[in-house]
Structure 1
Amino acid sequence: MSNFKKVKGHLSILLLVTAMAACSGSNDNPPNEPAPPSPAPAPAPSADTSPDTFSFTEQIDVAPEAPITSEAITVTGIDDATPVSVEGGEFSINGADFTSEASTISVNDSLVLRVTSHTEPGEIASVTVTVGDYSTSFDAITNIPASPLVHEAESLTLLGNTSIQDYEGASQGQVVTGFLQPDDGISFTEVVKSVALRVTYRASLETALTVWVNDTEAAEVVLSPTVENTFFNTIVEMDLVSTDRISLTSSNENSELQIDKLEWIESPLQQVSTFANAGLTNGDGISVSPEGDVFVSGGSGSGQVNKISQAGDVTVYASGLRTANGSDFDSQGNFYVADYQGNAVYKVDTNGSQSVFASELDGPAGVYVDQNDNVLVSLYGANFSGTAATVLSITPGGVVSVLANGGGLLDVIGVVGDENGEIYAGNFNTGRLFRVTNGEVSLLADLSVNVNMIDYSRGYIYVATRGRITRVSLDGSEETVSGSGTQAEIDGLIGDAEFSRPSAVAFSPNGNILYVYDAATGNVRSITFSDE
């Protein structure tokens, strides 16, 4: 109890002294009392490395496989050096060299991103940047080009007195007119590799249309007059590449000429006509020499090959074979033909001398000579077995090796190659068409029709069978070129023509004429350009 009283007494004295000091009105501390402690300093604020949000504008329709640079943005919201890194591209700070190495960035620095665009049309290339704890991306979308094959005339460069005029019957409601002088016309530079230019036009009088390539006259066609509100097509045969500059002018200032559109033609096949009769029915092969003469093999009905000159004259070129089948020429003009039942391939040199080129083969059927003059021979299988399932490669010196077998090959007959060294072969009965790449066999298309002798031109493999001419693109898609399947021989426009029993096709050396052999009649039909 005494301790409690003592503490209580000291408390009373303290209160009294405090009260007296307050009454005195003095702010001085009593003598010998320590000064009150100063307040503790506030802790230093931490650095802010979280930037204000920012973004980059997406760029569309950019060139393929090109460096694409974003707009510059200013980084704000940070007050200390802040880490910056990038993924999928590069960045530049304040105009310095682009880099993909991590670095730091400060407030009010400018930031630009760069990415390499995709190679494929419509694909997105993206670069992501991270500043502190914030990330965002810059995207570049490769352009999807419009079709390079069709040009509306009014979209082209006008020359001389030409002008654009509204016309209800035109494809887009406008035409180019005003062809008053020989140098009045239209021109353009967006040229694709092609074999012809189709011009859609109307004209009040007959006039000549001149086509200029790189300011040099390349071709001239006569345009027939048209009736009111009717457009005709004329086709100008040319061999063009992407760097050419094309101009068109009219020679008749009195003709009211209107041009609607222009179209590059990948295939010149427009008109079907009867070229000649080969003098052989039930034949089984056709080829064209470098000079343009046509050669038809007799097949199971004849062991000879007939030559048809460009004038249509027919002569015997090779004979003495048991069955003459597929054939082709090498770069020197030597002729090779398969003798199926004779299990051999014959060679006829440029002097007309005939000899055995390869023998003891298992039912050779098709022949194709590649870019190196190797003779490729398809083996169907002797005695109509359909089991050989092999494509051979025979060097110009006669050395035989297996190019491909298996992989689906069976009763293979047709064989051909493209400009890239790829080989294509077709099973006769199954209708399957195969691609051969470095000896590896893969299915290209299943046509479900007999595939006999085939040929290739400008990205397509052509097959003649069951009253139709079919072509297969290198991606495997197929379409009918001509014929409805009706067994008849009718000439005319490609869409109206009919074929009886076409069995083999071969292109002219320049690829502008497709010859079709009809086994039922022996006729050789040609598919060429049309004037309208």
Structure 2
Amino acid sequence: MAELVTVARSFSAPTGIAFDSKGAMYVTNWSGNSVVKINSNGDREIIHSNISSPAGIVIDAEDNIYVSSYGDDYILKIAANGKSQKISEGYHTPTGIAFSNSGNLLITNRSTGEIVSLDLKNGRKEIIANGLSTPVGVTQLADNSLVVSQYSGRLTLIQPNGDKTELGKSFNRPGVGIVAISPSVVAVIDNGADMVRKIDVKTKEVSTLVTSLSGAVALAYNNNQYYIGTWGDGSVHRFNDK
């Protein structure tokens, strides 16, 4: 089993983790209503506050930051120059977010069971999946299929044609953190089991990467290392991909 290293503490319900091009880590402080930046040297600063229950976070190639406000149903953009603005509103408890293969923003509408695709160039929204049960995390695979983690206990593979396959039999309560680590393998927070699991969506083989995580919620994969945000101790932990 992987060995955990604690890399940062004193968060208030760390829910999303992302990295910029310089290696700085950004964490959404759900209960602290803020977004925190930790530079590679360990220096820490709040880069945005007064955002209600920030959940998902992603960073594009130009270091623009996108954050979902679970509490106020909008998407916030924090530009590389620090300027922030709401760029899209009218969601339904948006939780985990991710980039699609085409560069759109994929947003989980937790309370309505939908995945929304937001075109960042023109602001148009499209519901690309529905009928889900409390979706909180999403990632897109190389073949354009989606894998959606749902607090209900489901982990669902959605093919580009809309066909769904349930993968969550071995999972207790899949959480916000979900990342694709190869064309057919995703790593997923199992919040209900305090674990990070890995699943091959083709073979449905499930393995456990790390256990004994107190309230694991956030998950990121950067430079062959996993980063996990845990609510139980308000910390971010790291372990290497073996």
For normalisation by structure 1, the TM-score amounts to 0.35
Q: Does 1:472 align with 2:154?
A: no
Is the CA contact (8 Å cut-off) linking 2:157 and 2:165 kept in structure 1? yes
Q: Look up the match of 2:198.
A: 526
CA apart distance, 1:366? 0.9
Distance change >3 Å, CA 420–CA 314, structure 1 → 2: same
Distance in 2 of aligned mates of 1:505 and 1:512: 17
Distance change >3 Å, CA 448–CA 397, structure 1 → 2: same
Distance in 2 of aligned mates of 1:479 and 1:351: 44
Is the CA contact (8 Å cut-off) linking 1:322 and 1:341 kept in structure 2? yes
Q: Look up the match of 2:222.
A: none
Please give the residue correspondences for 1:306-385 in structure 2 after superposition, counting only pairs within 5 Å.
Answer: 312-381=2-71
Extract unaligned runs of 5+ from structure 2: 206-242
CA apart distance, 1:500? 1.4
Is the CA contact (8 Å cut-off) linking 2:96 and 2:176 kept in structure 1? no
Query: Which of 402, 414, 426 pairs up with 2:108?
Result: 426
AA partner of residue 400 (structure 1): S
Is the CA contact (8 Å cut-off) linking 1:365 and 1:379 kept in structure 2? yes
Distance in 1 of aligned mates of 2:35 and 2:178: 19
Is the CA contact (8 Å cut-off) linking 1:392 and 1:402 kept in structure 2? yes
Q: Look up the match of 1:151.
A: none
Please give the residue correspondences for 1:138-217 in structure 2 after superposition, counting only pairs within 5 Å.
Answer: none
AA partner of residue 506 (structure 1): I
Paired residue secondary structure (1:368): strand
Q: Look up the match of 2:124.
A: 440
Distance change >3 Å, CA 474–CA 342, structure 1 → 2: farther
Distance in 2 of aligned mates of 1:526 and 1:377: 25
Is the CA contact (8 Å cut-off) linking 2:95 and 2:176 kept in structure 1? no
Is the CA contact (8 Å cut-off) linking 1:505 and 1:516 kept in structure 2? yes
Query: Which of 489, 500, 516 pairs up with 2:188?
Result: 516
Which gives a bigger RCO, structure 1 or 2 (Cα 8 Å, sep 6+)?
2
Q: Look up the match of 1:461.
A: 146
Distance in 2 of aligned mates of 1:447 and 1:457: 20
Distance in 2 of aligned mates of 1:471 and 1:336: 28
Distance in 1 of aligned mates of 2:24 and 2:131: 33
CA apart distance, 1:416? 1.1
Is the CA contact (8 Å cut-off) linking 1:463 and 1:505 kept in structure 2? no
CA apart distance, 1:362? 2.1
Is the CA contact (8 Å cut-off) linking 2:96 and 2:177 kept in structure 1? no
Extract unaligned runs of 5+ from structure 1: 1-275, 277-311, 382-387, 485-497
CA apart distance, 1:352? 2.7
User: Following TM superposition, where does structure 1 have runs of at least 4 consecutive aligned residues deviating by more than 6 angstroms?
Assistant: none
Seq. identity, %:
26
Is the CA contact (8 Å cut-off) linking 1:392 and 1:403 kept in structure 2? yes
Distance in 2 of aligned mates of 1:375 and 1:474: 27
CA apart distance, 1:373? 2.0
Distance in 1 of aligned mates of 2:159 and 2:59: 21
Q: Look up the match of 1:400.
A: 84
Query: Which of 482, 491, 507 pairs up with 2:179?
Result: 507
CA apart distance, 1:315? 1.9
Is the CA contact (8 Å cut-off) linking 1:414 and 1:453 kept in structure 2? yes
Looking at secondary structure, tell me which structure has more strand per residue. Answer: 2
Distance in 2 of aligned mates of 1:361 and 1:450: 22
Aligned residue pairs, count: 199
Is the CA contact (8 Å cut-off) linking 2:25 and 2:38 kept in structure 1? yes
Is the CA contact (8 Å cut-off) linking 1:470 and 1:478 kept in structure 2? no
Is the CA contact (8 Å cut-off) linking 1:378 and 1:392 kept in structure 2? yes
Distance in 1 of aligned mates of 2:177 and 2:186: 7
Distance change >3 Å, CA 374–CA 511, structure 1 → 2: farther
Is the CA contact (8 Å cut-off) linking 1:322 and 1:340 kept in structure 2? yes
AA partner of residue 102 (structure 2): N
Two-structure CA RMSD over aligned residues (Å): 2.3
